[in-house]
Chain A
Amino acid sequence: MSQIIDVEHLNYRYPQQAADQLTLTDISFTVAAGEWVAIVGHNGSGKSTLAKNLNGLLAPVSGKITIDGQVLSEQTVWDIRRKIGMVFQNPDNQFVGATVEDDVAFSLENQGIPRDEMLSRVAEALAQVDMQDFATREPARLSGGQKQRVALAGMIAARPQILILDEATSMLDPEGRAEVLQTIQQMKADSDLTVLSITHDIDEAANANRVLVVNDGHLVEEGTPAEIFQHGPALIKMGLDMPYPERLKAALARLGVQVPATYLTEKGMADWLWQLRSNK
């Protein structure tokens, strides 16, 4: 697999910050085409700043970002933005259309897609996020979760090579979140999409091939979800929820039960409890 994202020694500071203060310090990582990478970290750790550097919304102090073979610069930024779709936590900040379907069509119009194809892609995208009944409604009048679905539909229609989700499922109910994650899995299966998801949600992180942990502007750890989830209560400090089995283990330990130290999945936890009880 080729590297579609290559970040080397990225340093970033906001304009109002002092020269010795960095929001991102010496960040380096690569993402292979078709990979799903979750970026986790507590609020203020620099995750969103990192995402905004990747498509040139923010310009680094130093370091090199290469997207699909092109080094990000003032000359290439427009090409690169066509390859990256972003969905933010609060989509109010990204709606431009007067109706839901206009909004989903916006990026297609910009790309000069023929009208017939545009209409079918918009309808298809809205159906995928279960918002087809809302095509002629005003985006501003939708609920928070519905807005996030519409923003995602915009990306499904635009078919970017890279999808960056910045806490893009945070306003959805659990069922909606599961549906959206399934839609993204489907997009990946159809088109070799690369996904970078910034999240606090353990289920969203569990979907990833790899998890990067950002703390205080540094990349402090990377691993598979199972490797990262082993950290137990320390996960909270990483800005991630504790997986349920770890929470139950902690509650049992508080009552004096000797619990296994290794990470257990829900099934593993249920097996362990059932076996103990059967041995009683």
Chain B
Amino acid sequence: MAITFKQVEFTYQPGTPFETKALTDINVTIPDGSYTALIGHTGSGKSTLLQHLDALLKPTSGTVTIGDRVITPTTSNKDLKRLRQHVGIVFQFPESQLFEETVAKDIAFGPQNFGASEADALKLAAKMLTLVGLDADLLQRSPFDLSGGQMRRVAIAGVLAMQPKVLVLDEPTAGLDPQGRLEMMDMFARLRHEQQLTIVLVTHQMDDVANYANNVIVMDHGRVVKTGTPQAIFKDPQWLAEHHLGLPKTTAFAQQLIARGMTFDEMPLTEDQLAAALVKQLPTSVLGGGDHDE
């Protein structure tokens, strides 16, 4: 499901002393089926844009088209249920929103809210728990007895239980250890294929953008300042620095090698890409240990 912003502006608390303009002239499309990374300096407007993806916020002016629904400043708050079922948002620290007595009831809450019977919702809960890589044994446990990483997976299962077409992830791996982070990012990539999801990832981790996304939206001061593939976005380190953004670790390291005089046909974004490019440039004497040429 595609989402399109046309001339969107958004102001928080207009007409009060707290009035703040957060979005200015946003014109951008999140293509259907894409893995779109939304990046930008702290306070650049990412979270505000994100809340427009399922009409939690409505534009102060302009339109947001979500699938076949057009959201305008005057759209009524009623009748947004179906839309919200289609766009599932996993907020920062989603585990803080768990509240039910059991894992099963917590995951089933959303679907029941959207009209599923209790029996159907509980069946769905069992399925979703497996989908996020947790054991069915946990269904009858209290969510508060689980580890932080498990709680986050339960919260994500609750969002997936609405069977959304678009999954929006706001810093989904914050606070997880590196192993947990890797498992979670691999899980989203797998879910995207299994469930044919469009994914929107808000992140500060440029390595995740390089490893997983195929489309990038860059924000600064409430505006979209660039869109393109990770390859296109990361080829200009100076421009990124001007917008207070970093490079994937590999690209930053490749810059050091370039400064010494090495050249790369295409800017490497991941360590496997860099390793492959280096192997072509290294003497055969160090290439003894592998089995690739046997």
B and A form one assembly: yes
Residues of A in contact with B (beta carbons under 8 Å apart): 42-44, 89-90, 137-138, 141-146, 167, 170-176, 200, 235-237, 239-242, 244, 247-248, 250-258, 266-267, 269-270, 273-274, 276-277, 279-280
Q: Which residue of A lies closest to B257 (CB)?
A: A270
The answer to whether residues A270 and B147 also contact, given A42-B177, A236-B178, A247-B271 and a CB cut-off of 8 A, is no
B282 at the interface (CB under 8 A from A): yes
Residues of B in contact with A (beta carbons under 8 Å apart): 12, 18, 41-43, 46-47, 92-93, 96, 147-149, 171, 174-180, 182, 204, 206, 244-246, 249-250, 253, 256-257, 260-262, 271-272, 274-276, 278-279, 281-283, 286-293
Contact pick for A253, options B174, B178, B250, B289, CB 8 Å: B289
Docked pose: A66 CA to B262 CA in angstroms: 54
Q: Which residue of A lies closest to B274 (CB)?
A: A248
Q: Which residues of B contact A44 (CB under 8 A)?
A: 147-149
Q: Which residue of B lies closest to A279 (CB)?
A: B283
A256–B292 CB distance below 8 A: yes
Contact pick for B177, options A43, A176, A253, A266, CB 8 Å: A43
Chain B nearest CB, measured from A4 CB (Å): 28
Docked pose: A252 CA to B204 CA in angstroms: 27
Docked pose: A280 CA to B200 CA in angstroms: 45
Q: Which residue of A lies closest to B287 (CB)?
A: A256
Contact pick for B290, options A89, A256, A279, CB 8 Å: A256
Docked pose: A213 CA to B275 CA in angstroms: 30
B41–A256 CB distance below 8 A: no
A251–B275 CB distance below 8 A: yes
Chain A nearest CB, measured from B156 CB (Å): 16
Q: Which residue of B lies closest to A176 (CB)?
A: B42
A252–B92 CB distance below 8 A: no
Q: Which residues of A contact B171 (CB under 8 A)?
A: 144, 171
A-B residue pairs in contact (CB < 8 Å), sample of 5: A143-B47, A173-B41, A247-B271, A256-B287, A256-B290
Contact pick for A145, options B42, B96, B288, CB 8 Å: B42
Contact pick for B289, options A144, A172, A257, A273, CB 8 Å: A257
A143–B42 CB distance below 8 A: yes
A170–B42 CB distance below 8 A: no
Q: Which residue of B lies closest to A274 (CB)?
A: B260
List the 10 closest A-B pairs by CB distance, nearest first.
Answer: A256-B290, A145-B42, A251-B275, A173-B204, A251-B271, A239-B177, A174-B246, A280-B283, A42-B177, A244-B249
Contact pick for A252, options B41, B279, B283, CB 8 Å: B279
Docked pose: A277 CA to B283 CA in angstroms: 7
Scoring B204, B244, B281 by chain A CB atoms within 10 A of each residue's CB, the highest score goes to B204
Q: Which residues of B contact A174 (CB under 8 A)?
A: 204, 206, 246
Q: Which residue of B lies closest to A247 (CB)?
A: B271
The answer to whether residues A255 and B281 also contact, given A244-B249, A248-B271 and a CB cut-off of 8 A, is no
B278–A273 CB distance below 8 A: yes
The answer to whether residues A43 and B276 also contact, given A176-B42, A266-B256 and a CB cut-off of 8 A, is no
